[in-house]
Every structure is written in structure tokens, then in C-alpha cells.
């Protein structure tokens, strides 16, 4: 869907034929012998979505393996696993950013998983080359704009957000936010560090206000008229059509907002992932691998799409209508390891230009 095809198609179907006989047999084999009721898998996760509860419940129903969770920020979890050392109870590290998965790997906290099922189902771009981690859902960091104030052709690339024509219009999160760091990591790779720094300076100069809040707040800024253009992950907008989001709950709020997948004539829209890796000292490694393989199953992939409006990574997975309505777009196929490799330089660039 992503790496295998240059354009992402948001309306697709999965079924027995797509899932494949070999992969289906492998998945059934993995779940053929439910574990004892006292078996567990311990997740250290920075995903904070209530809808994920159904993922854990179904996994236990299928396998008999109880799911225990520790939830915190990705950086705090990395520090905790590192401090716990060989005595860490963590089996899996789960986070919503490829850069943080890369950071955990750099600390030596992840152990490679060689799974034929995962290699078949998860496109190469969205997994570590040695199997340290695998992505299971994707989020596009795209451009939203005020239809009444901004012409779409003036903001249809990331680069244009730094153009003086958009002065006083742009709203973003703070530079230390992991989504901003990963986007800058991609910009460094595509433009080079020197040009990426000029871009950061221009983006800062074009700000409508000081960076504040999360992605939903950037969209609310457009609805209220405070922001003319905003960077946000796609699912924050899709969520407004499906949930009661204050500040975006009325049709007149969302109808003001235009949606753009940037750089369709160049490298494509920036993507990041939710992903997971088995920890190096996992006390329940076999159960952890089972959980990874479960996340690539049709039902789990459907939960990602329905629960948080993320793009499932297994080709042919089903999507909710609001997500499918975004249509087909060209996605950046940059290896996601680059987001981590460029993360430190990304923060230095933001700091040098005074981006707060």
C-alpha cells in the first residue's frame, strides 16, 4: 500500500485472497495453541488511545496471554528500560514515532525478530532492516489551511510554508515535539542540512502565534481564525468527523478547513508510524513475538483504522469511510530509520534559528 505502490490508496479491501494462504496459515499456527492463563506479555507503550483496549482484549481472547501495560512518554520508557537493565519486565516497547524506535535501538534495548509473516505483511520501508522493530500503522503529517484566507496552491508543499507569502499564517507545535523533529529529519534528508535550516527559519518567521498545544489545537486555530495554515497528523482531522471534539464539533468548523497532502510532485507526504520492538531482555519473548504478529492480522489492522483513523500498513486492510474519503496520495518512501538518524541535528537546527 505504501512502499510497494508509489501512491497510497485509502480505500481497499482485505480478505482471504489478499491475506494470502501462506501468511494466513502462519498466523493460525501462531494462535493454534492458546497459552496458559498465567502467561503474560508486558508492554511498555507510549500509545495513549482508549481504542487500543480492544486490541489487548482480543489478543488475550485469541491466545490466553494476559496483557500488562506500563504507559508513559517514549523517552521516559526508554530511560526506564535502560535503568532496569537485565531485570526489566518489559517484553515490548511500543511508540508512535519511528525516531523513538530508532533511539531505543541505538541504546541496545531492542532484540531482532526474524518473522516470515511480518516480513511479508509489513512493507520494507516501515520496518527496521534487521528486524529490531516493525511498524503497524501510519500517520501522514500534512497541511491544513483556511479555505477563505489561503489559496491551496500557495501551501501545497512543505517548503512553501517557509515562503514570505505565508507570513503570519502558520501554526505548529513546539520544535521539541517528536512529530516536528521527525518532519525536520525528513527535510534534512531531502534538502540537506543547510537548506533545511533556512526552511526552519522561514517557518518560524511565518508563525501566526507562538507554538502551543497539540495537533487538535492547530486545527482549532484554523476554525477560530487564529491560524491560516497548520501542520498536523491526518487522523486529528478525521477524528473530528467521528468523535465529539470541542472546537471542531460543528460542521461549520470543519468545513472551513482545507486538506492538502504536500509535495505530490516531488517526494510525497511525510509519513511516520506506530510501531513496536521486542526488548533485549524480554522475559516473555515468545509471547512478545506473538503479539507483534497479531498486530499484523486483519482484525488488528482494522482496529488501527477504525479506532484512531490511522492508515493500516498491511496492504488491502479495510478503512472507515472518513479515512477512505481522504483519497489516494503519493507518500514519501524515505526509510524511517533516517528520522532517527537525523533527530539530534533536527533539534540543533531548530535551536539555532530560535524555534521554540
Q: Are residues 251 and 172 in the same domain?
A: yes
Q: Are residues 126 and 201 in the same domain?
A: no
Q: Are residues 110 and 153 in the same domain?
A: no
Count Cα atoms within 13 angstroms, Cβ side, for 311.
27
State the DSSP string of 32-72.
SSPPPTT-EEEEEE----GGGHHHHHHHHHHH-PEEEEEE-
- The parent domain of residue 175 ranges over 139-269+340-352
Dist. CA 203–CA 184, nearest whole Å: 11
Q: 94: domain CATH number?
A: 3.40.190.10
Whether 44 maps to a domain, the answer reads yes
Q: Are residues 120 and 219 in the same domain?
A: no
> How many domains would you assign to the chain?
2
C-alpha cell at 230: 497548520
DSSP-H helix ranges across the chain: 16-19, 21-30, 53-63, 74-84, 98-106, 116-121, 178-191, 193-205, 215-224, 234-242, 251-254, 285-295, 298-308, 321-324, 337-341, 343-352
Say what the pLDDT of residue 10 is.
38
Whether 315 maps to a domain, the answer reads yes
Whether 1 maps to a domain, the answer reads no
Whether 250 maps to a domain, the answer reads yes
Say what the pLDDT of residue 240 is.
79
Say what the pLDDT of residue 352 is.
98
Encode the chain (356 residues) as per-residue pLDDT tens digits.
Answer: 433 333 344 333 222 222 233 333 343 344 333 444 469 999 999 998 777 888 999 999 999 999 999 999 999 999 999 999 999 999 999 999 999 999 999 999 999 999 999 999 999 989 999 999 999 999 999 999 999 999 999 999 999 999 999 999 999 999 999 999 999 999 999 999 999 999 999 999 999 999 999 999 999 999 999 999 999 999 999 887 766 666 676 676 788 999 999 999 999 999 999 999 999 999 999 999 999 999 999 999 988 888 888 999 998 888 888 888 888 999 999 999 999 999 999 999 999 999 99
| 3-class SS of residue 161 | helix
Q: Are residues 180 and 41 in the same domain?
A: no
Q: Are residues 116 and 250 in the same domain?
A: no
Q: Are residues 144 and 134 in the same domain?
A: no
Q: Are residues 35 and 92 in the same domain?
A: yes
Say what the pLDDT of residue 40 is.
98
Q: Are residues 108 and 246 in the same domain?
A: no
Whether 2 maps to a domain, the answer reads no
Whether 117 maps to a domain, the answer reads yes
Q: Are residues 191 and 249 in the same domain?
A: yes
Whether 259 maps to a domain, the answer reads yes
Whether 211 maps to a domain, the answer reads yes
Q: State pTM to two decimals.
A: 0.85
Q: Are residues 147 and 46 in the same domain?
A: no
Q: Are residues 102 and 149 in the same domain?
A: no
Amino acid at each position: 500500500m505504501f512502499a510497494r505502490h508509489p501512491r497510497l490508496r485509502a480505500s481497499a479491501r482485505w480478505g482471504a485472497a489478499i491475506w494470502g494462504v501462506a501468511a494466513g496459515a502462519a498466523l493460525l499456527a501462531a494462535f493454534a495453541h492458546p497459552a496458559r492463563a498465567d502467561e503474560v506479555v508486558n508492554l511498555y507503550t507510549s500509545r495513549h488511545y482508549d481504542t487500543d483496549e480492544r486490541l489487548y482484549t482480543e489478543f488475550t481472547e485469541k491466545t490466553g496471554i494476559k496483557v500488562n501495560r506500563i504507559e508513559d512518554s517514549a523517552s521516559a520508557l526508554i530511560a526506564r528500560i535502560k535503568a532496569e537493565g537485565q531485570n526489566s519486565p518489559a517484553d515490548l516497547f511500543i511508540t508512535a514515532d519511528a525516531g523513538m524506535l530508532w533511539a531505543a535501538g541505538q541504546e541496545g534495548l531492542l532484540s531482532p525478530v526474524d518473522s516470515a509473516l511480518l516480513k511479508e505483511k509489513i512493507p520494507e520501508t516501515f520496518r527496521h532492516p534487521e528486524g529490531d522493530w516493525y511498524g503497524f500503522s501510519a500517520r501522514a503529517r500534512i497541511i491544513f489551511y483556511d479555505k477563505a484566507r489561503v489559496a491551496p496552491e500557495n501551501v501545497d508543499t512543505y517548503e512553501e510554508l517557509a515562503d514570505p507569502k505565508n507570513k503570519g499564517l502558520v501554526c505548529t507545535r513546539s520544535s521539541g515535539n517528536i512529530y516536528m523533529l521527525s518532519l525536520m529529519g525528513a527535510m534534512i534528508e531531502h534538502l540537506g542540512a543547510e537548506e533545511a535550516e533556512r526552511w526552519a527559519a522561514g517557518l518560524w518567521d511565518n508563525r501566526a502565534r507562538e507554538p502551543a498545544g497539540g495537533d487538535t489545537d492547530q486545527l482549532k486555530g484554523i476554525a477560530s481564525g487564529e491560524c491560516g495554515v497548520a501542520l498536523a497528523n491526518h487522523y486529528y482531522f478525521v477524528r473530528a468527523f467521528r468523535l465529539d471534539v470541542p472546537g471542531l464539533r460543528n460542521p461549520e468548523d470543519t468545513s472551513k478547513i482545507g486538506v492538502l497532502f504536500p509535495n505530490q510532485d516531488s517526494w510525497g507526504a511525510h509519513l511516520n508510524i506506530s510501531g513496536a520492538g521486542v526488548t533485549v531482555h524480554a522475559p516473555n519473548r515468545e509471547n512478545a513475538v506473538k503479539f507483534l504478529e497479531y498486530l499484523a492480522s486483519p482484525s488488528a489492522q482494522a482496529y488501527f483504522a477504525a479506532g484512531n483513523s490511522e492508515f493500516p500498513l498491511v496492504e488491502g486492510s479495510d478503512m472507515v469511510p472518513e479515512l477512505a474519503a481522504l483519497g489516494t496520495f503519493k507518500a514519501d518512501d524515505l526509510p524511517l530509520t533516517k528520522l532517527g538518524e537525523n533527530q539530534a541535528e533536527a533539534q540543533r537546527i531548530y535551536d539555532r534559528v530560535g524555534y521554540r
